[in-house]
Amino acid sequence: MRTFAAHFNLFTMKQSLNQSKWARWTALGVVSFTMMAAYFMTDVMSPLKGMLEGIERWSSADYGLFTSAYGWFNVFLLMLFLGGLLLDKKGIRFTGMLAASIMVVGASVKYLALAGILPVQGVVAGVKAQVVFASVGFAIFAVGAEIAGVTVTKAIVKWFKGHEMALAMGLQVSVARIGTAIALVFSNPLAKYFGGVSHAVLFGLTLLVIGLLFFFIYTLFDKKFDRQSGNVEASTEDEFKLSDVKLVLTSYGFWLIALLCVLFYSCVFPFLKYATDLMVNKFGVSEEWAGLIPGLLPFGAILLTPLFGSIYDKKGRGATIMIIGALMLVGIHALFAAPGVSSWIYAVGLMVALGVAFSLVPSAMWPSVPKIIPEKQLGTAYSLIFWVQNIGLMVVPYLIGVVLDRFCKTASDEGTISYDYTIPMLIFTAFAVLSLLVAVMLTREDKKSGYGLERPNVN
């Protein structure tokens, strides 16, 4: 059996590091932990809507506003676009460390607001000050999280090009979604045990600090890889130019991928923000454990995304995989919207099926981008896709919160508030239908332009 020292001697070999399975999979594991921490912080508040309403006196609209803050700076200040340009100009190491640091700063602001350390009394622009400060912190964190996502995706392309790229992307997403699963399942018990939502956020902040240290470790691997392969980040030989943005923006295939991304994820991530509350209001699950059922979704994706990615690597059929996933999403959200069904077993079955759909589309969508866009433009391409996605992540959660407050809220004589989720689930169903139409259009464009989305990835 090889010792660690023997493995580490790979660094001294003339062979490029990404030719070593141990080296490229270790690099993947390190950056995946950083993204796992980011996903935990993204979803740590999802099971806490009830506590925020009960303890902090937030409304559904307040919660929707806070959730929508994820896209504020990324969308309106074009931070994702600038992050993509920075990635293509400055490289993976610099951009990744900057993104991880921004996540820590934003999460710290969010924690200080929820812990009452910042001045959270009063009202700002008609909104509770605590909601505003927490939202600003979440918006800052989101800049780092999204740029980190783009950076890690480009890093995987760099290390796994010609190898198991879709499998690697699937595994990275799976590890990241462990963070989502932990947040959905344990945030509420953790907050109740310690007596406040800020304690769950503090745990996420601790994970982010560790994730920052992990990404620093990755930079050591990446720097050695460049030296051995003769690459220099942002080299003049194939240097990114601002004019290359035009080539990305004029690609029809790129826009179809971007639209599929925003429509598909608008059916999933905003849904997860309200899924725990849905379990309480429609399926009668206790608030403390209602996060267990939505927690099944990322756990299912953890197992299946790498499997579907491996199938794409070896067998191809990427466009077909995306169509199947979008079609499943339509049926699942329509069944969630169906009236008169209140069994938690029914909810579990739908959530498991949603986990399958949630695995199918990303496992094929993200590895398909390098088939449409040249590698030197990938940072910009991925950042623009994430930017479009953030529009949905900003608008849809706020829309759902407003709809719940205005059309779906019922107050009992005892003052207890409940919500009817039929209209919100129909909204999610409509987005799913649109994502299916775009997936079909992408399949037709692939046949016309010869992107090779139906071909395997492994050489």
Burial class from Cβ neighbours inside 10 Å (0-12, 13-18, 19+) for residue 29 reads middle
CA–CA separation, 382 and 246 (whole Å): 14
Residue 318 pLDDT greater than 70, yes or no:
yes
Per the CB < 8 A criterion, the answer to whether 192 and 288 are in contact is yes
Q: State residue 411 phi and psi, 5-degree precision.
A: -110, 130
Mean pLDDT of 42-64: 87
Q: How far apart are alpha carbons 95 and 110 in whole angstroms?
A: 23
Total-model pTM: 0.75
Tell me the domains of the chain and their CATH numbers: 19-227+236-449 (1.20.1250.20)
Between residues 373 and 123, the one the model is more confident about:
373
Classify residue 317 as exposed, middle or buried by CB count within 10 Å of its CB (0-12, 13-18, 19+). middle
List, for residues 39-52, the tens digit of each pLDDT value: 999 999 988 888 88
Q: What tens digit of pLDDT does each residue of 243-263 get?
A: 667 888 888 999 999 999 999
Q: Write the CA distances from 455 to 134, 313, 320, integer angstroms.
A: 45, 8, 11
**Of the candidate ranges 68-82, 93-107, 366-380, the one whose mean pLDDT is the lowest:** 366-380
Where residue 205 falls among pLDDT bands split at 50, 70, 90? very high
Band of residue 12 on the pLDDT scale cut at 50, 70, 90: very low
Q: Is the pLDDT of residue 11 over 60?
A: no
Q: 1 falls in which pLDDT band (50, 70, 90)? A: very low
Residue 343: CB atoms within 10 A of its CB come to 10
Secondary structure (DSSP) of 92-103: HHHHHHHHHHHH
* Residues 92, 152 contacting (CB under 8 angstroms): no
pLDDT in tens, 339-352: 888 889 999 999 98
Which is higher by pLDDT, 348 or 164? 348
